[in-house]
């Protein structure tokens, strides 16, 4: 019988918990979205962070942690990366929010078109949800169709949000889900909605919300592209998480399948808020007259400068290969630790995107999104 791993002493989290009580009064749920404490272990996990350095973060109670979440993906080079921050500070001294655009926008759009295999034109936005919403709108305008075939987590747009409250049923009915890795299920969606599907949007590496990560089965992405195009639909790769992480050119470069459009964000600027839609000129040109997309803050240049400098470092330091090597070693060592500990954990994913599932079902837990139990 394996000897269980002894638990570390309980963390001192009194300041975090006190601030959380104030936060419940100030904002719905105390903390927004997936950062809410019930997504972790309430009372055993920090809530408020003061700062970060490199791969470490520090909470309001003075605890220091090795950060394995990396702000849910953006921090690919570590916190407070000096080259990026210096470039941003220099731009700040010249101004960054204008009614007109700045030259760095052209430079970044050119860079993205060069790096990503699908790159012909680019639309720069702020968040992953901005990007997926803009890509889906472009596909709908281009095809003249309304329905979307989706697989994976794509943000909080009405067409894809995981929690249905506030979204009209008529809107939800326009989105049809299929299972990752199952070509027959995608074909079923087209068979049940002939001539109505505008786009297939998929995360090329399967990563449903808060669920195990699935590498693409051999030939799967090629088949998805074939089925989409055979049925007159636009293929969108949602690479908000995989872009600049699994390869400089994203999963489309790594796995050799080029979509019509792709969305990138997160690791693109090491934490600065920026994302983009990149792809075929023929499709994105709908935004010239047929469709509309605009925001006061889309043209802000601080994030563009950060993205340019981040990409410089990623290429210069061969960061993606380093991530694959370190991720491989991490997963191998993890196998040894889990085997010795007896803790019911399974791993999934790929070296740049590992995922752990604690397989003991915890009962009596109120699941905020309406389920009966969750795995931790």
Question: Residue 315's beta-bridge partner residues?
Answer: none
Which residue of the set 61, 130, 238, 260 is catalytic? 238
Which of 182, 206, 204, 194 lies closest to 147 in space, CA to CA? 194
Q: At how many degrees (to 10) do helices 183-192 and 220-230 cross?
A: 10
Which of 160, 131, 356 lies closest to 266 in space, CA to CA? 131
Is there a contact between 174 and 167 (Cβ–Cβ < 8 Å)?
A: no
Sign of CA dihedral 222, 186, 359, 251: positive
Question: Residue 366's beta-bridge partner residues?
Answer: none
Which of 311, 365, 360 lies closest to 76 in space, CA to CA? 311
- The Cα–Cα gap between 167 and 165 comes to 6
Which residue of the set 59, 61, 130, 153 is catalytic? 153
Is there a contact between 121 and 113 (Cβ–Cβ < 8 Å)?
A: yes
Q: Position of tokens 């989706």?
A: 150
C-alpha distances out from residue 110 to 248, 257, 347, Å: 15, 21, 38
The question of whether 153 is a catalytic residue gets the answer yes
Which of 253, 295, 252 lies closest to 273 in space, CA to CA? 295
**Ramachandran angles phi, psi of 159, nearest 5°:** -75, -15
- The Cα–Cα gap between 16 and 245 comes to 32
Q: Position of tokens 């919300």?
A: 209
Which residue of the set 147, 176, 266, 280 is catalytic? 266
Catalytic (active-site) positions: 153, 238, 266
């Amino acid at each position: 019988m394996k000897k269980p791993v002894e638990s570390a002493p309980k963390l001192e989290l009194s300041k975090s918990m006190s601030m959380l009580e104030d936060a419940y009064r100030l904002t719905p749920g105390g903390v927004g979205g997936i950062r809410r404490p019930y997504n972790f272990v309430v009372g055993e996990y920090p809530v408020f962070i003061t700062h970060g350095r490199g791969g470490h973060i520090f909470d309001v109670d003075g605890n220091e942690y090795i950060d394995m979440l990396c702000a849910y993906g953006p921090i690919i080079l570590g916190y407070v990366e000096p080259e990026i921050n210096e470039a941003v500070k220099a731009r700040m001294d010249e101004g960054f929010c204008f009614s007109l655009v700045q030259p760095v926008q052209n430079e970044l759009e050119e860079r993205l078109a060069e790096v990503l295999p699908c790159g012909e034109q680019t639309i720069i936005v702020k968040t992953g949800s901005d990007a997926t919403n803009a890509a889906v709108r472009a596909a709908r305008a281009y095809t003249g169709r309304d329905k979307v075939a989706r697989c994976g987590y794509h943000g909080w747009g009405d067409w894809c949000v995981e929690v249905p409250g506030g979204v009209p049923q008529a809107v939800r009915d326009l989105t049809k889900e299929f299972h990752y890795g199952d070509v027959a299920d995608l074909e079923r969606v087209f068979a049940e909605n002939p001539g109505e599907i505008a786009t297939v949007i998929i995360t090329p590496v399967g990563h449903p919300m808060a669920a195990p990560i699935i590498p693409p089965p051999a030939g799967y992405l090629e088949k998805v592209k074939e089925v989409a195009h055979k049925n007159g639909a636009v293929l969108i790769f949602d690479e908000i998480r995989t872009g600049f992480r699994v390869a400089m050119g994203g999963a489309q470069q790594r796995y050799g399948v080029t979509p019509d459009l792709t969305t990138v964000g997160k690791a693109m600027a090491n934490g600065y808020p920026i994302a983009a839609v990149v792809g075929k000129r023929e499709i994105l040109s709908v935004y010239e007259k047929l469709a509309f997309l605009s925001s006061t803050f889309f043209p802000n240049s601080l994030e563009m400068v950060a993205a340019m400098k981040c990409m410089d470092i990623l290429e210069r330091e061969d960061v993606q290969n380093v991530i694959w090597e370190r991720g491989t070693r991490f997963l191998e060592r993890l196998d040894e630790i889990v085997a010795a500990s007896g803790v019911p954990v399974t791993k999934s994913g790929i070296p740049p995107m590992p995922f752990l599932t604690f397989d003991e079902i915890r009962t009596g837990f109120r699941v905020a999104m309406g389920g009966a139990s969750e795995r931790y």
